[in-house]
Amino acid sequence: AGHEEVAVLDGGYAAWSAEGHPVSTEQPTPEPGDIEVHPGAMPVLDADEAAALARDGLLLDARATPRYAGETEPIDPRAGHIPGAVNAPFPGHIAENGRWHAPEQLAARFTDLGLRPGEPVGAYCGSGVTASSVVLALELAGHPGAGLYAGSWSHWSRDPGRPAATGPLPG
């Protein structure tokens, strides 16, 4: 929505409460605010831009490997992935304790996935939710400006004119 001052709770609620920070079950009454929305702060990709990125840059698929490979598809009408996309399951960005890996580890992971310095990069998943964590991981790793294909596989797979690759490789 274009908000520049945002934060992510590293480790989530479990880490927060384990560190002894205050928690509450009270539900405060919402107060009106004056938020101004400024679209465009994070690049958002459409299907054609995602296809071009898979061909000419690096498009990361944040879904679990069986979904990427087309071995299973519990939600959408077709199984597989966007041709040229590289599988980067989102849990790989998070350590066992639920916290983000160090920026150096994230950078090494993206290099291993084929990302070159300055190369355009974007991410998608099933519905655009977990791919946003890949966009954040890219930012933490020193690759700002990654695009999010918010429609993701749910959008792509509903168009019979769009190809679907299967198997463990980008295809």
Query: pLDDT digit string (tens) for 51-61?
Result: 999 999 999 99
Domain 47-156 has CATH 3.90.660.10: no
Question: Where exactly are the structural domains of the chain?
Answer: 47-156
pTM of the predicted model, to two decimals? 0.91
* Block mean pLDDT (10 aa), the chain, length 171: 79 94 95 83 93 98 98 96 98 94 98 96 97 96 96 98 96 78
Residues with a catalytic annotation lie at 125
For 20-89, the DSSP string reads: T-------PPP--------TTSS-B--HHHHHHHHHHSEEEE-S-HHHHHTS--SSSSS-SB-TT-EE--
Amino acid at 75: I
